[in-house]
């Protein structure tokens, strides 16, 4: 087996084995990365093999930093195989054998595993074989849970893991899966979410006591102890809150345990707060600014409160010593606001800023308070009354006061004990009150990202500039809107590139520290002129000025994607999702990045996560459809793309829809899509790239190439991805396609 090839995986060496099969380290020759290739022996049970593959495919939809990713499943002879992320590190069982754990460590590790269970259970996947040997400490000592949903049979003596093999065998005690099985499973019941929580409780007990809660010299004695005996006592050094939650989770009655993994995690967080004020000792690392309440008594002023939320979020982000959760995630909590500790868990935030805004004419009152959400401890509060002309100074005054309230608690203090400062730029002058109001209206429209809303935002920004021609932020806003309108094909490239570049340059003339202007220059350089060197320089400068700029992070990830830098692009998307854990935009953009690198399962999972947050989010449905096409599921893609045809302004949806029809053999329907695109072109811009997609579905490669060459002459966006786009894989050996790629590469290497 070693040295052989399965699919596009070269087998390197054996790294584990057990009752269910053998695990090898393999090299993915397509993506040049190590993977774990697990063969599952089911020679006498073909139905079992099919069931296992179904379960593995369900598990492949999981995409969480605490879960080992399933990349692919398949069959080789009589065996099923599963291709997984290769996680190199020490198992929890090995670490327990080497040294005891402190209560703080038990809580921290348990919380990470519980977070992985929350993600999996919310997607209908139950682990069913959770144990210390299936928990690995990977990069930066972060926990990874292996083999989600892959164990459908009880294995009594030998555990089955991905890497490394099971080593925990106590003399006279049966080791392995049986020791972690809940009473209801031993009685023949189904292993559900509560059985996973029992197994996690057994694991926490092991960490606390260096032994398992139930003993038995034989499988029968072990089963009897689990079914009828109380757990062994925990050592006296275990804090009462931790001991209480472990005991509750080991209740014989499933209904007496924690109802969900989220509740279990919440109990662990509460135990952490009750044990030595550990949260306070760790310091503050992340803050979220919750949507400010509109106290004006006028619903039409909601945009003003939202604008204040965004402005204060951005001002705090300039601190640099603390991570600031993006405004879009915070806005999910605008209507229904859970208790602050729950918000802290949901957004992985340590501190929360909340407040209110009341505007009356050209006067504004802002009240804000800062709370350590983990300890539910009030840190600072202040109320400000100002004229709108002083609004920019007001925002920075609030941000600076918040920073000063945070600074003594920072996990990473400033250099040489100096307090952090909020950066000030040329914009700190009196602002025209009505111009500022129009700017906020524009930001409110921009956040919706529809074609109509983007055009509305441009109109607001233009009115702001009419009132104040030196308003740099309004010029940056115009540049962003034109850039995105062109990206989605709502306007012709020349009508996007020129106005976007001109507006961004004007913003920088007025304020060289305008980070968003640098970022949008990078965006248009990469998408409309394919000047990747110049784009990289612009992105890097913008992110230096505003490290927490969400658009900057995922737009930079798209640039890195076009340059083929997969790991760097994924890292930027990871940072973007950390900044915006509830945002649909970041997850959808991550899905697009993964699509271009051929990781269709992971791309689809990101889009499904986005749709969990916002079920009607059209871009996520579109990229999900593209990902299903990449998986070869054209019929499934049609189900997601067809509902978008009437409401979506993007011809990209039509292009992929027509491609899916062609792949399904519905040639006449695909040609009807081409006619629709031609009719649309008589009244608005249609991207040749999208027309080319339909021709690829019809396997009309020469016509598709003609459309791509037309897109090149147009300066069309998306061509910077054409060398990666799986839709055009059939052209890779065509001389005309190779010639166009060379021309794109020459432009992409333009010096900055």
List, in order, residues 6 or more apart from 92 with CB less than 8 Å away: 109, 132, 133, 135, 136, 137, 143, 203, 207
Please state the separation of Cα 199 from the chain's center in Å: 28
How far apart (Å, rounded) are the C-alpha atoms in residues 501 and 523?
10
User: What pLDDT shows up at residue 583?
Assistant: 76
The structure tokens 């786009």 sit at 725
Q: Report how far residue 17's alpha carbon sits from residue 24's, in angstroms, rounded to the nearest whole number.
A: 9
Dihedrals φ, ψ of 287, to 5°? Answer: -130, 150
How far apart are the C-alpha atoms of 348 and 76, rounded to whole Å?
A: 42
Check residue 740 and give its pLDDT: 93
Could you tell me the pTM of the whole model? Answer: 0.60
Buried-exposed string 378-412: b where 16+ CB fall within 10 A, e elsewhere: ebeeeebebebebbbbbbbbbbbbbbbbbbebbee
**Alpha-carbon distances, residue 210 vs 106, 143, 166, 179, 235 (angstroms):** 12, 19, 16, 14, 10
Q: How far is Cα 96 from Cα 170, in angstroms, rounded to an integer?
A: 12
What domains are defined for the chain? 5-85 (3.30.200.20), 90-279 (1.10.510.10), 283-424 (3.40.50.10610), 649-752 (no CATH)
What's residue 416's pLDDT? 41
Strand partners of residue 34: 27
Supply φ then ψ for residue 33, to 5 degrees. -145, 155
Q: Number of C-alpha atoms within 13 angstroms, CB side, residue 113?
A: 30
Contact present, 374 and 310 (Cβ < 8 Å) = no
CA-only gyration radius of the chain, Å = 28
Give the per-residue pLDDT at 18.
56
CA distance 363 to 365: 7
Q: Residue 478: its pLDDT value, please?
A: 97
Regions of the chain where pLDDT drops below 50: 151-176, 276-281, 414-427, 750-752
Q: What is the pLDDT of residue 498?
A: 92
Beta strands in 132-274 (DSSP E): 135-137, 143-145
User: How far from 248 is each of 115, 119, 227, 233, 560, CA to CA, in Å?
Assistant: 19, 22, 15, 13, 48
pLDDT value, residue 481: 96
pLDDT at 100: 73
In what helix (H) or strand (E) does residue 600 lie, and over which residues does it extend?
Answer: helix 600-613
Predicted local confidence at residue 423, as pLDDT: 41
**Is 747 within 8 Å of 531 (Cβ atoms)?**
yes
Output the pLDDT for position 45: 53
Model pLDDT, residue 153: 33
Alpha helices by DSSP H, 428-583: 433-446, 451-467, 472-487, 493-510, 515-528, 532-545, 550-562, 566-579
- The answer to whether the beta carbons of residues 98 and 187 sit under 8 Å apart is no
Give per-residue pLDDT as tens, 324-348.
887 777 777 777 777 777 777 777 7
3-class DSSP assignment, residue 40: strand
Q: In 59-116, where do the E strands start and end?
A: 70-76, 79-85, 90-91
Q: How far is CA 477 from CA 58, 366, 520, 730, in A?
A: 42, 24, 9, 39
User: Per residue in 353-364, pLDDT tens?
Assistant: 888 888 888 888
Structure tokens at 77: 């002879």
Comparing CA positions, the residue from 533, 553, 531, 558 lying closest to residue 542 is 553
| pLDDT score of 126 | 87
Instruction: Count the helices and strands in the chain (H runs, E runs).
Output: 31, 15
Contacts of 103 (CB under 8 A, 6+ apart): 208, 237, 238, 239, 242, 275
With CA atoms as reference, report the closest residue to 707 among 426, 595, 722, 157: 722
């Amino acid at each position: 087996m070693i040295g052989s090839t399965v699919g596009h995986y070269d087998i390197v060496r054996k790294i584990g084995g057990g009752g269910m099969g053998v695990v090898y380290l393999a090299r993915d020759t397509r993506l040049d990365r190590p993977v774990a290739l697990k063969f599952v022996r089911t020679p006498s049970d073909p139905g079992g093999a099919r069931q296992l593959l179904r379960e593995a495919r369900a598990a492949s939809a999981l995409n969480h930093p605490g879960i080992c990713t399933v990349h692919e499943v398949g069959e080789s002879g009589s065996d099923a195989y599963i291709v997984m992320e290769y996680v190199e590190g020490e198992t929890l069982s090995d670490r327990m054998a080497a040294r005891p754990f402190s209560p703080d460590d038990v809580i921290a590790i348990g919380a990470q595993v519980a977070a992985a269970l929350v993600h999996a259970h919310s997607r209908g996947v139950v682990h069913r074989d959770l144990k210390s040997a299936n928990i690995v400490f990977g990069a930066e000592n972060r926990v990874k849970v292996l083999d989600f949903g892959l164990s459908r049979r009880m294995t009594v003596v030998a555990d089955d893991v991905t890497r490394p093999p099971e080593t925990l065998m106590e003399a006279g005690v049966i080791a392995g899966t049986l020791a972690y099985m809940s009473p209801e499973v031993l009685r023949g019941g189904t292993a559900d979410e509560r059985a996973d929580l029992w197994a996690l409780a057994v694991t926490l007990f092991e960490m606390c006591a260096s032994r398992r809660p139930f003993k038995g010299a034989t499988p029968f004695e072990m089963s009897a102890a689990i079914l009828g005996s109380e757990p062994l006592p925990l050592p006296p050094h275990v804090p009462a809150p931790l001991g209480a939650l472990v005991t509750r989770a080991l209740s014989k009655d499933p209904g007496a345990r924690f109802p969900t993994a989220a509740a279990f995690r919440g109990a662990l967080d509460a135990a952490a707060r009750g044990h030595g004020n550990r949260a306070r000792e760790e310091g503050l690392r992340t803050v979220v600014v919750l949507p400010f309440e509109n106290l004006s008594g006028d619903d039409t002023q909601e945009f003003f409160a939202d604008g204040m939320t965004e402005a204060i979020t951005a001002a705090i982000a300039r601190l640099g010593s603390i991570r600031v959760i993006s405004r879009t995630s915070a806005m999910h909590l605008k209507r229904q606001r859970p208790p602050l500790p729950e918000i802290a868990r949901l957004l992985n935030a340590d501190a929360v800023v909340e407040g209110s805004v009341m505007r009356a004419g050209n006067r504004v009152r802002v009240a804000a308070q800062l709370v350590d959400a983990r300890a539910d401890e009030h840190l600072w509060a202040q109320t400000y009354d100002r004229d709108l002309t002083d609004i920019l100074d007001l925002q920075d005054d609030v941000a600076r006061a918040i920073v000063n309230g945070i600074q003594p608690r920072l996990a990473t203090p400033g250099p040489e004990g100096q307090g952090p400062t909020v950066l000030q730029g040329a914009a700190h002058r009196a602002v025209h009150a009505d111009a500022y109001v129009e700017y906020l209206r524009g930001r409110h429209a921009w956040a919706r990202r529809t074609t109509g809303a983007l055009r509305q935002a441009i109109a607001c920004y233009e009115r702001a500039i009419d009132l104040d021609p030196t308003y740099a932020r309004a010029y940056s806003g115009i540049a962003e809107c034109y850039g995105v309108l062109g990206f989605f094909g709502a306007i012709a490239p020349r009508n996007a590139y020129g106005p976007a570049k001109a507006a961004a340059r004007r913003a920088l003339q007025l304020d060289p520290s305008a980070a968003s202007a640098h970022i949008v220059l990078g965006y248009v350089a990469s998408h409309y002129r394919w000047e990747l060197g110049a784009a990289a320089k612009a992105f890097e400068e913008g992110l230096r000025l505003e490290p927490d700029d969400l658009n900057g992070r995922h737009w930079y990830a798209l640039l890195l994607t076009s340059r083929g830098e997969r790991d760097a692009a994924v890292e930027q998307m990871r940072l973007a999702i950390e900044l915006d854990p509830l945002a649909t935009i970041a997850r959808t953009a991550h899905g697009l990045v993964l699509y271009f690198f051929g990781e269709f399962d992971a791309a689809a999972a990101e889009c499904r996560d986005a749709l969990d947050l916002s079920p009607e989010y059209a871009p996520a449905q579109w990229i999900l459809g593209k990902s299903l096409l990449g998986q070869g599921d054209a019929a499934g893609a049609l189900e997601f793309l067809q509902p978008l045809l009437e409401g979506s302004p993007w011809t990209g949806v039509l292009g992929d829809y027509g491609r899916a029809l062609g792949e399904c053999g519905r040639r006449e329907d695909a040609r009807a899509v081409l006619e629709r695109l031609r009719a649309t072109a008589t009244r608005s811009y249609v991207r040749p790239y999208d027309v080319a997609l339909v021709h690829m579905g019809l396997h009309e490669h020469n016509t598709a190439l003609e459309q791509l060459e037309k897109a090149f002459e147009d300066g069309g966006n998306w061509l910077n991805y054409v060398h990666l786009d799986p839709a055009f894989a059939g052209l890779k050996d065509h001389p005309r396609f190779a010639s166009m790629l060379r021309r794109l590469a020459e432009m992409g290497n333009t010096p900055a």
